[in-house]
Structure 1
Amino acid sequence: MIKAFLNIKIKGGALQFVLFIAVLIAILLAAFISLSHVHTLFKKQSNLVVQTVKEGDNRLFASLENKQGILSLENEDNITNSNWGVFEKLTVVSTAKKYSFTKTALNGGQVKERTALYLKESHQPLILVGNTRIEGRAFLPKQGARAGNISGKSYYGSSLIYGSVNESTDKLPLLEDTFKHKLDSFMETGGSNNTELISGEANTSIRNSFKKPTRLMYLGERIDLDGIELVGNIIVRSEQKIRVGTSAVLKDIILIAPEIEIEAGVKGNFQAFATKNISVGKNCELSYPTALVLNIKIQADQDPNKEKRQIFLDQSASVKGIIAQFGTAGERNFKPQVVIEENALIEGEVYCEARMELKGSVYGSVFTSGFVSNQAGSVYLNHIFNGKIIAAALTDQYAGLAFSGTKKNIVKWLY
């Protein structure tokens, strides 16, 4: 019987089938083992990537708080900071093994308790007329606020200040110690060290990452920006004037010129720096973080063109960000260096070292040496006619001018 069993013949096809099954099982086992190994390796790599990114974030935010970041990874983190206009540009490079991540952000000052109005001590009261409304904490001269009358129109509010009132000093709140020095240096040298020049021809689109060197458009004569798209790490500089046309698309760039004209209907966000004047046309929509800065270097009393040196926002213009004017006007100059026309809106901060005329609205804060109201051919000092300042209308996440002693926060992540 045993001999008969041993003499049984198995067909070749069945043997091949058995071998095929065995090979298939071996392949499946190998694939499973490989998949498990790859999954484990991917998980370790993912954890390393996530940890490296988190460490970079922690280092960046620690730098904003002026604290020393503590790294738990065995890596090399490089932190650099520079100025991009009125903001600080902070770059953190985190490296772990073969992985490297770069994060760049603009940061600015963020106040804990927002001020609606800071009017420098001038030994004159603040006079409110018409539909003027000030909501929030106010710092005023010792004479405080009073209701007034212009051309038969009185003050229509039920309260002078809708918030707490404190006494101001003869100086505006201080910005960071090095702010103005950095601003002067940036306006004088911004873009001058760049070797890569770009043209401003119409119907062109130029995008430049903040991880790359800054690109510069420079002309000694007037620059007209029409039908052009400029995005990112770009500076446009003219020794005469820059005009921004309605067809221009500008995002995150910087403009530097003695005079800057922004035509009616322009949309975008950018920083503009001038020494003579900046004009914003009707119905412009300049989104956050826009900054318009007039830095007057010449003594106003000795300036034959002092009446033209101002930031002017026309009717229904909208700016989200910073309006800043630096330089004194002189005691005999009763012309405003910042003019905000009717229905114009600023969501952010106005910082004016001279005098300003407020007919529109500010959702945020105003810091100024004085007000001027021009009505019916007469000039009224320290008068606000139909102007509005509402501190609570500005989001708490807003970050702007870096005042002395304030903490820093992210204005915008860059690309």
Structure 2
Amino acid sequence: MLKASALYLVVVIALIIAVFCASLITVAAFYRQEHQKSLRYAKLSVNLESGRALLLSSNYQLYDQEDRLDLFEEENDSVLLRKEHWGLFDLGTVSAFSQKDTLSQSFLIGLDASGDKSAIYLADEDRPLSVSGKTQIVGVAELPKAGIRQAYVDGRAYEGKELVKGALRESGRSLPKLNKTLILQLQETLQDSSESDPISADSASRSFFRNVKKIRISPKNPIVGGSYSGKIVLLCDTVLTIKKEARLSNVLVFAPGIIVENGFRGSCQLFAVDSVVTNGPVSFDYPSAIGVLSKGKGGNQPKITLGEGSILSGILFTHEEERSDLQTQISLGKNSKVMGEIYASGFIKFEKPVIIEGKVSCNRFIIQTPSTLYENYLIDITLNRPKRSLYYLTSSLFNSTSKNQRVLTWLK
């Protein structure tokens, strides 16, 4: 005859077995769910890469529209593509989705610039380029027919052995034309008078997966001193001052004139009609850009001034439709450094020494010494094309012949 305790023991064992079996079923269900999730994630990742490849293709020319595609026409591999202009570059967003699962990417697009080996393009105005002191030109030099010569300035001769460490080519009478479509888009934004969000706080952030947020700075207090990041366009109808404590990340700024205070550091694209001036050392991180688009009217000389000790990684350019008496000017202060490209539709003025790792294009050089102003002289100026980063990507602004589009930087 069984004791009552034996029944109790059987119940306990049965309960343990039931719990164990339930656990196995739960683990199996969880594993299956995670396995299916992993498969969906892998499939979405592949679809995301396919969508990105489509956007980076030179054949993809659809702008400012959402483009929904079924990659394999099986109604379960959908991607959403969008390409639009963001300053001097293109902005791409890709989303791959299946049921309730979505993977997305946002990035700036640049052009491969490795094929352009030119360090200098000086338009042919029937005068030679003169070099003195510790000047170095490394890379292809596109110069006037009058060529290049050594010069004796302020008691100093040229200290190098070769005038150019690279090939010599003849330049044309004018500079290569800029991308007209892109210039028109920038000019339209500079003239934008549409309503926009008033500035209501010292900071704002906007995901690049959302629509652009335009903020118009009040002309009564034209100052930017807060933190702005993402898909934000700052507009101002008067001269705008960017304080040194401002934190700008990938935003666009448009104003008639822009002043950047000493000590500022950020990544942004600044566009003006009259001038962009930096006071003292500032640092613009890659990919930054500064552009002045002159209307060709008025008595002031449109210019960009990069203050003493400043560093810029990206693009400096000026533009005017027709050459005026007061041609545009880019002025580089003493000990300043540019890693990228400089294009001046007029003059480039140096205060020696200056280092440029990349390419320079202009109609004429001007260099200021304590005693004299020299034209088409380079004194203690370094132009080194091979020093520019191998990962540097250029803009379609320069009508590059390169069709190789690549991801310039990832965005959020």
- What is the TM-score of this pair, normalised by structure 2? 0.88
Deviation at residue 261 of structure 1 after TM alignment: 0.3
Q: Which residue of 1 aligns with 2:66?
A: none
Partners of 2:280 and 2:308 within 8 A in 1: yes
Deviation at residue 369 of structure 1 after TM alignment: 2.3
Deviation at residue 220 of structure 1 after TM alignment: 5.6
1:151 is matched with which residue: 149, 154, 172?
Answer: 154
Q: Which residue of 2 aligns with 1:364?
A: 358
Partner AA of 1:375 in structure 2: T
Deviation at residue 305 of structure 1 after TM alignment: 1.3
Q: Which residue of 2 aligns with 1:399?
A: 393
Query: 5 Å matches for 1:336-355?
Result: 337-355=329-347
Partners of 2:262 and 2:282 within 8 A in 1: yes
1:304 aligns with 2:299: yes
Q: Which residue of 1 aligns with 2:63?
A: none
1:56 aligns with 2:48: yes
* Percent pairwise identity: 23
Q: Which residue of 1 aligns with 2:318?
A: 325
Deviation at residue 175 of structure 1 after TM alignment: 4.4
In structure 1, C-alpha distance between the alignment counterparts of 2:94 and 2:58, rounded to whole Å: 14
1:41 aligns with 2:33: yes
Deviations 1:303-330 (CA, angstroms, capped at 9, x unpaired): 4112xx2100111011111111111684
1:18 aligns with 2:10: yes
* SS across alignment from 2:393: coil
Partner AA of 2:211 in structure 1: P
Query: 5 Å matches for 1:190-339?
Result: 195-199=196-200, 204-219=202-217, 221=219, 223-225=221-223, 227-298=225-296, 303-306=298-301, 309-327=302-320, 330=323, 332-333=325-326, 337-339=329-331
Partners of 2:55 and 2:83 within 8 A in 1: no
Partners of 2:225 and 2:242 within 8 A in 1: no
Partners of 2:47 and 2:77 within 8 A in 1: no
1:380 aligns with 2:374: yes
In structure 2, C-alpha distance between the alignment counterparts of 1:166 and 1:223, rounded to whole Å: 50
Partners of 1:222 and 1:240 within 8 A in 2: no
Q: Residue 346 and residue 65 in structure 1: after superposition, are their counterparts in 2 closer, same or farther (change >3 A)?
A: same
Partners of 2:320 and 2:328 within 8 A in 1: no
Partner AA of 2:407 in structure 1: I
Partners of 1:216 and 1:236 within 8 A in 2: yes
1:93 aligns with 2:90: no
In structure 1, C-alpha distance between the alignment counterparts of 2:264 and 2:315, rounded to whole Å: 17
Q: Residue 249 and residue 128 in structure 1: after superposition, are their counterparts in 2 closer, same or farther (change >3 A)?
A: same
Partners of 2:128 and 2:376 within 8 A in 1: yes
Deviation at residue 290 of structure 1 after TM alignment: 1.1
Q: Residue 364 and residue 223 in structure 1: after superposition, are their counterparts in 2 closer, same or farther (change >3 A)?
A: farther
Partners of 2:196 and 2:215 within 8 A in 1: no
1:71 aligns with 2:71: yes
Q: Residue 329 and residue 175 in structure 1: after superposition, are their counterparts in 2 closer, same or farther (change >3 A)?
A: closer
Q: Residue 62 and residue 183 in structure 1: after superposition, are their counterparts in 2 closer, same or farther (change >3 A)?
A: same
Partner AA of 1:340 in structure 2: L
In structure 2, C-alpha distance between the alignment counterparts of 1:22 and 1:177, rounded to whole Å: 81
In structure 1, C-alpha distance between the alignment counterparts of 2:241 and 2:2, rounded to whole Å: 93
In structure 2, C-alpha distance between the alignment counterparts of 1:70 and 1:380, rounded to whole Å: 62
Partners of 1:291 and 1:321 within 8 A in 2: yes
Deviation at residue 378 of structure 1 after TM alignment: 4.0
Deviations 1:364-387 (CA, angstroms, capped at 9, x unpaired): 111222212233564432222221
In structure 1, C-alpha distance between the alignment counterparts of 2:100 and 2:198, rounded to whole Å: 34
1:187 aligns with 2:165: no
Partners of 1:357 and 1:384 within 8 A in 2: no
Partners of 2:318 and 2:328 within 8 A in 1: no
Deviation at residue 67 of structure 1 after TM alignment: 4.6
Q: Which residue of 2 aligns with 1:138?
A: 141
In structure 2, C-alpha distance between the alignment counterparts of 1:100 and 1:134, rounded to whole Å: 50
* SS across alignment from 1:14: helix
Higher gyration radius (CA) = 1
In structure 2, C-alpha distance between the alignment counterparts of 1:206 and 1:281, rounded to whole Å: 25
Deviations 1:329-381 (CA, angstroms, capped at 9, x unpaired): 84754x76001111001111111121112331111111222212233564432
* SS across alignment from 1:392: coil
In structure 1, C-alpha distance between the alignment counterparts of 2:272 and 2:146, rounded to whole Å: 35
Q: Which residue of 2 aligns with 1:5?
A: none
1:167 aligns with 2:170: yes
Partners of 1:329 and 1:354 within 8 A in 2: no
Partner AA of 2:267 in structure 1: N
Q: Which residue of 2 aligns with 1:4?
A: none
Number of aligned residue pairs: give it: 396
Partner AA of 1:33 in structure 2: I
In structure 2, C-alpha distance between the alignment counterparts of 1:347 and 1:223, rounded to whole Å: 33
Q: Which residue of 2 aligns with 1:107?
A: 109
Q: Which residue of 2 aligns with 1:410?
A: 407
In structure 1, C-alpha distance between the alignment counterparts of 2:206 and 2:242, rounded to whole Å: 19
Partner AA of 1:197 in structure 2: P
